[in-house]
Amino acid sequence: MSSLRVAVVGAGPAGVYAADILTKSDVDVQIDLFEKLPAPYGLVRYGVAPDHPRIKGIVTALQKVLDKPSVRFFGNVEYGVDIKLDDLRQFYDAVIFSTGASSDRQLDIPGIDLPGSYGAADFVSWYDGHPDAPRTWPLEAKSVAVLGVGNVALDVARILAKTADELLVTEIPQNVYEGLRSSPVTDVHVFGRRGPAQAKFTPLELRELDHSPNVEVIVHAEGIEFDEASMAAIRSNKQVEMIVKTLQEWAIRDEGTRPRRLHLHFLEAPVEVLGSSCVTGLRTETQELTGDGNVRGTGVFTDWDVQAVYRAVGYLSTHLTDIPFDHVSGTIPHLAGRVLDLDEVPMPGVYTTGWIKRGPIGLIGHTKGDALETITSLLEDAPSLPRCASPSRDAVVEFLEQRGVPFVTNEGWSRLDAHEIALGAAHGRERVKVVSREEMTSISNG
Ligand SMILES: Cc1cc2nc3c(=O)[nH]c(=O)nc-3n(C[C@H](O)[C@H](O)[C@H](O)COP(=O)(O)OP(=O)(O)OC[C@H]3O[C@@H](n4cnc5c(N)ncnc54)[C@H](O)[C@@H]3O)c2cc1C
């Protein structure tokens, strides 16, 4: 029996973990990972904040998977543009979609589209040096609002508030360092609609805010309220208890003298971004808890003097060509990782994993469990999967070459990786990222 041929579309952690689990099964398998960017690792490279080097270090484990002889990397190949489902079916017995999420969920309030109002995903892409993000970012505001109280909101607030020099030890590209260095920001206000016990961030991310010598974290005491549901959450969930304890301590401490301030406001719902031609403020409505952890408006409004607004209200996945998509949840419909067609019947040999399967929530580690479920389904199906017409390993290479797709191989990525590490080493840093797609591809191609 010839090897099982599997294509994985999207080389973020979910796709790489899926490949890893497959290689550890007792099935003889060949795996090709297709990635639209010239570099692998998805949001580990282009989402995780640069001042989280320990998390970024996960790439060392992921690289070991790419280095396995049965795994090949094809970067710079976009599914839906350079290759489609019918093409993949020709070369592979099974296809796994793990394309994650990369855009911002909308927030439907007046003024949200004004110049000066941004999505967190776009800003994250900029500061993490995503090749498709603009090279400059308008950092002209002295006071900024960040909407949302999840980990991404805290990342955005922290990067906005820290000084560029604090971040210079990280892998941030030169253009990002220069952009942040010119920022006149003094105050970053984070707004949460619900109470402290309903915050979505983790205790670690919260406490980290306080580590900067340049940023004073101020918790506004009027939002530190609890209802019955909040008390129950504090009693039953250690994480909630830790978050609330930290917030309560910070709410009553004396204000220090660090030059920039990061304010945390709870029970303030953004209702309008103010301004006619650009952002000049944010209007919020004070909320009260209703007993079950939900909130209702009190009719008390406050206008905040901010000149930029960042909404961090969730990421959104993109609908892939020829693959069903649930536009409400922003996910691919599936049963234990088997993609379901419009009649809710599994599409033979088509699977999904990661954020596009589960929705854009959860940490990198959670994508391992996802991948395990999907690969278990795939391996159960494997004996009865229809085999592809062109199983030769060279066939897909010829296909891409004939189409003129300037794909990046694993060796190419290794060259770029080594180049970035050398750029960093010259300045005592772990890595400095190359940003432009052309430069990335040209370094990869030697
Ligand atoms: C701002 C931010 C910060 C985060 N910080 C942390 C953290 O500190 N710690 C932590 O544990 N988790 C963190 N996470 C969560 C973590 O990043 C996710 O859990 C994880 O990346 C999801 O993995 P994934 O592989 O499903 O998706 P992604 O990481 O999004 O990977 C999907 C890949 O598919 C590729 N792709 C998309 N479309 C196509 C296409 N058409 N053709 C080919 N390739 C395609 C993308 O380029 C990408 O490389 C963070 C998330 C965000 C958004």
- pLDDT, tens only, 36-66: 999 999 999 999 999 998 898 899 999 999 9
Of all residues in the chain, the percent with pLDDT exceeding 90 is 96
Q: Of 281, 313, 345, which one is at a domain's C-terminal end? A: 313
Q: Residue 354 is encoded by which pair of tokens?
A: 């990661």
E-assigned strands of 90-234?
Answer: 94-97, 103-104, 117-119, 143-147, 187-191, 215-219
Q: How far apart are CA 139 and CA 127, in angstroms?
A: 12
CA atoms within 13 A on the CB side of 101: 27
Closest ligand 1 atom to 14 CA: 25
Same domain? For 206 and 347 the reply is: no
> Could you give the dihedral angle defined by the CA atoms of residues 345, 351, 353 and 355, in that order, rounded to the nearest 10 degrees?
-60
Same domain? For 56 and 204 the reply is: no
Same domain? For 110 and 220 the reply is: yes
Of all residues in the chain, the percent with pLDDT exceeding 70 is 100
Decide: 375 in ligand 1 pocket, CB within 6 A: no
Q: Are 15 and 31 in contact (CB under 8 A)?
A: no
Domain-embedded: residue 445: no
- Please spell the DSSP secondary structure of 62-81, one letter per residue: HHHHHTSTTEEEEES--BTT
pLDDT, position 56: 86
Same domain? For 256 and 384 the reply is: no
Domain-embedded: residue 422: no
Please enumerate in sequence order all residues whose Cβ is within 8 A of that of 21, keeping only pairs 6 or more positions apart, or say none.
Answer: 371, 372, 375
Average pLDDT over residues 12-36: 97
Q: Over 90: is that where the pLDDT of 138 sits?
A: yes
Q: What digits encode the pLDDT tens for the residues 288-312?
A: 999 998 999 999 999 999 999 999 9
Decide: 124 in ligand 1 pocket, CB within 6 A: yes
Helix (H) / strand (E) element for 381: namely helix 366-381
pLDDT, position 54: 87
Please enumerate in sequence order all residues whose Cβ is within 8 A of that of 49, keeping only pairs 6 or more positions apart, or say none.
Answer: 124, 127, 128, 155, 158, 159
Same domain? For 286 and 337 the reply is: no
Same domain? For 80 and 226 the reply is: no
The alpha carbon of 227 and the centre of ligand 1 are apart by a number of angstroms equal to 35
Amino acid at 121: A
Q: What digits encode the pLDDT tens for the residues 86-129?
A: 999 999 999 999 999 999 999 999 999 999 999 999 999 999 99
Decide: 432 in ligand 1 pocket, CB within 6 A: no
Question: Measuring from atom 15 of ligand 1, which residue has the nearest CA?
Answer: 363
Full residue range of the structural domain in which residue 304 is found = 104-119+139-166+181-313
DSSP 3-state assignment of 289?
Answer: strand
Report the sign of the C-alpha dihedral through residues 419, 434, 320, 107, in that order. positive
Q: Of 291, 313, 335, which one is at a domain's C-terminal end? A: 313
Q: What digits encode the pLDDT tens for the residues 67-82?
A: 999 999 999 999 999 9
Q: How far apart are CA 266 and CA 200, in angstroms?
A: 12
pLDDT, position 158: 98
CATH of the domain at 74: 3.40.50.720
pLDDT, position 446: 87
Pocket test residue of 78, 83, 98, 99 for ligand 1, highest count of atoms within 8 A of CB: 99
DSSP 3-state assignment of 90?
Answer: helix
Decide: 43 in ligand 1 pocket, CB within 6 A: yes
Same domain? For 44 and 31 the reply is: yes
Decide: 104 in ligand 1 pocket, CB within 6 A: no
Same domain? For 231 and 302 the reply is: yes
Same domain? For 160 and 284 the reply is: yes
Same domain? For 228 and 203 the reply is: yes
pLDDT, position 409: 96
What's the mean pLDDT when you consider all of the chain?
96
Decide: 36 in ligand 1 pocket, CB within 6 A: yes
Report the sign of the C-alpha dihedral through residues 151, 153, 156, 158, in that order. negative
Domain-embedded: residue 196: yes
pLDDT, position 1: 65
pLDDT, position 291: 96
* Predicted model pTM: 0.96
CATH of the domain at 242: 3.50.50.60
Q: How far apart are CA 11 and CA 213, in angstroms?
A: 37
Domain-embedded: residue 412: no
Closest ligand 1 atom to 10 CA: 34
Same domain? For 97 and 108 the reply is: no
DSSP3 helix / strand / coil % (the chain, rounded to 5): 35, 20, 40
Please enumerate in sequence order all residues whose Cβ is within 8 A of that of 335, keeping only pairs 6 or more positions apart, or say none.
Answer: 346, 377
The alpha carbon of 47 and the centre of ligand 1 are apart by a number of angstroms equal to 7
Q: Of 313, 344, 366, which one is at a domain's C-terminal end? A: 313
Same domain? For 186 and 290 the reply is: yes
Q: Are 88 and 10 in contact (CB under 8 A)?
A: no
Question: Measuring from atom 13 of ligand 1, which residue has the nearest CA?
Answer: 363
Amino acid at 193: R
Q: How far apart are CA 295 and CA 226, in angstroms?
A: 11
Q: What digits encode the pLDDT tens for the residues 361-389?
A: 999 999 999 999 999 999 999 999 999 99
Decide: 75 in ligand 1 pocket, CB within 6 A: no
* HEC-encoded secondary structure of 154-191: HHHHHHHHCCHHHHCCCCCCHHHHHHHHCCCCCEEEEE
Structural domains in the chain (count) = 2
Average pLDDT over residues 395-406: 97
Domain-embedded: residue 387: yes
Domain-embedded: residue 189: yes
Domain-embedded: residue 134: no
Decide: 361 in ligand 1 pocket, CB within 6 A: no
Domain-embedded: residue 37: yes
Decide: 364 in ligand 1 pocket, CB within 6 A: yes
Q: How far apart are CA 281 and CA 44, in angstroms?
A: 33
Decide: 315 in ligand 1 pocket, CB within 6 A: yes
Cα-Cα end-to-end distance for the chain? 38
